[in-house]
């Protein structure tokens, strides 16, 4: 089957080269850039199959749906700029039949810290490979969800999530994300919230739950400093959410 990788970028010079190195098999790669000011565009232009479209960012769902309109092949592989495809996943995608009854495939993640894959993460599998005409994105808090009509399946090989951007950029992004998450939590009726979101809304429990979950249940303590780093990141993100919740409710 012919597959077009679709990537969103904004100042991803620290990551995008490693992502593109594993996509040289693709005839065409569609990139939707939000106005990068670093070397991202120069790196993208070094790959002849990359086609760049510029669109000011408003929401993730609108950005992704804009990208879907630029894809010409039946199948799309949606990727963040810090996703790296291992050879076994590339081979698995290549081996898929063009007449499969499945319209979308979920792919699990291996989160990397300093290039080292962790034993477990908070990232759920993502429906990243799908038929373009059967898919549509919608916003969900700080991120987006993909709705694919018809049957879905799972691929065996993972995607590596390997973000090498500076800590300052991570903090900037998390602060923006948590503002959107707070709006979602406060606007959603309590009975419609997931257990995780109800815990987050307490403002106190979530950081402690995440600490135990990442270190113990996901085995982060066995990953050494990489595991502690990831755990501290996730705990800090939940603390930021709690602070924004308190400010929104009391401020």
CA-to-CA dists, residue 60 to 45, 83, 136, angstroms: 23, 17, 12
Over residues 41-65, the pLDDT tens digits come to 999 999 999 999 999 999 999 999 9
157 with 173, same domain? no
Claim to verify: residue 9 and residue 115 sit in the same structural domain: yes
Res. 34 pLDDT band, cuts 50 70 90: very high
Give tens-digit pLDDT for 172-229: 999 999 999 999 999 999 999 999 999 999 999 999 999 999 999 999 999 999 999 9
Residue where a domain stops, chosen among 111, 128, 161: 161
Cα distance between the two ends of the chain: 54
pLDDT by residue (tens digit) across 104-128? Answer: 999 999 999 989 999 988 888 999 9
d(Cα 60, Cα 80) in Å, to the nearest integer? 11
Same domain, 19 and 116: yes
**pLDDT at position 121:** 85
- Residue finishing a domain among 142, 161, 180: 161
Helix (H) or strand (E) holding 105: strand 102-107
The verdict on 67 and 111 lying in the same domain is: yes
Number of domains in the chain: 2
141: tokens are: 């808090």
pLDDT given for residue 140 in this prediction? 83
Model pLDDT, residue 97? 92
Provide the 3-class DSSP secondary structure of residue 161.
Answer: strand
Residue labelled with tokens 């969800």: 145
| Average pLDDT, integer, range 70-81 | 97
Confidence at 139, pLDDT banded by 50, 70, 90: confident
CA distance 100 to 129: 13
In angstroms, the Cα distances linking 172 to 29, 62, 159, 166 are 28, 21, 25, 10
pTM confidence score: 0.89
Q: What angle do CA 19, 20, 22 make, to 5 degrees?
A: 75
Residue ending a domain, choose from 161, 185, 217 = 161
Helices (H), the chain: 16-21, 40-45, 60-70, 87-94, 167-187, 195-201, 205-212, 225-250
5-14, 33-42, 112-121: the lowest-pLDDT one: 112-121
Q: Does pLDDT of 251 surpass 80?
A: no
Give the residue numbers spanning the domain of 235: 167-250
- For residues 206 and 216, what is the distance between their CA atoms, to the nearest angstrom? 15
Same domain for 126 and 205: no
Q: How many CB atoms lie within 10 A of CB 151?
A: 11
What is the predicted pLDDT for the residue at 1?
86
Average pLDDT, the chain: 95
Question: Do 50 and 98 fall into the same domain?
Answer: yes
Q: Do residues 214 and 144 share a domain? A: no
Contact 49, 27 (CB under 8 A): yes
Q: For 78-93, write each residue's pLDDT tens digit.
A: 999 999 999 999 999 9
């Amino acid at each position: 089957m012919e597959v077009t990788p679709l990537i969103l970028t904004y100042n991803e010079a620290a990551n995008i080269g490693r992502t593109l190195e594993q996509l040289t098999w693709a005839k065409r790669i569609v990139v939707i850039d939000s106005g990068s000011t670093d070397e991202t565009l120069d790196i993208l232009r070094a790959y002849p199959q990359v086609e760049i479209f510029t669109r000011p960012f408003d929401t993730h769902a609108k950005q992704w749906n804009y990208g879907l309109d630029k894809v010409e092949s039946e199948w799309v592989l949606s990727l963040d700029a810090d996703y790296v495809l291992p050879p076994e996943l590339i081979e698995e995608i290549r081996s898929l039949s063009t007449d499969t009854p499945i319209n979308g495939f979920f792919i699990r993640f291996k989160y990397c810290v300093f290039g080292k894959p962790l034993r477990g993460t908070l990232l759920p599998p993502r429906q990243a490979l799908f038929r373009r005409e059967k898919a549509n994105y919608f916003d969900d808090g700080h991120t987006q969800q993909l709705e694919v009509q018809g049957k879905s399946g799972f691929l065996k090989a993972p995607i590596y999530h390997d973000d090498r951007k500076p800590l300052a950029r991570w903090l900037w992004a998390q602060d923006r994300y948590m503002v959107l998450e707070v709006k979602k939590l406060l606007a959603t009726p309590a009975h419609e919230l997931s257990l995780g979101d109800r815990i987050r809304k307490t403002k106190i429990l979530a950081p402690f739950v995440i600490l135990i979950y990442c270190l113990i249940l996901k085995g982060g303590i066995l990953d050494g400093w990489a595991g502690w780093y990831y755990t501290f990141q996730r705990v800090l993100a939940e603390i930021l959410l709690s602070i924004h919740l308190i400010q929104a409710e009391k401020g």
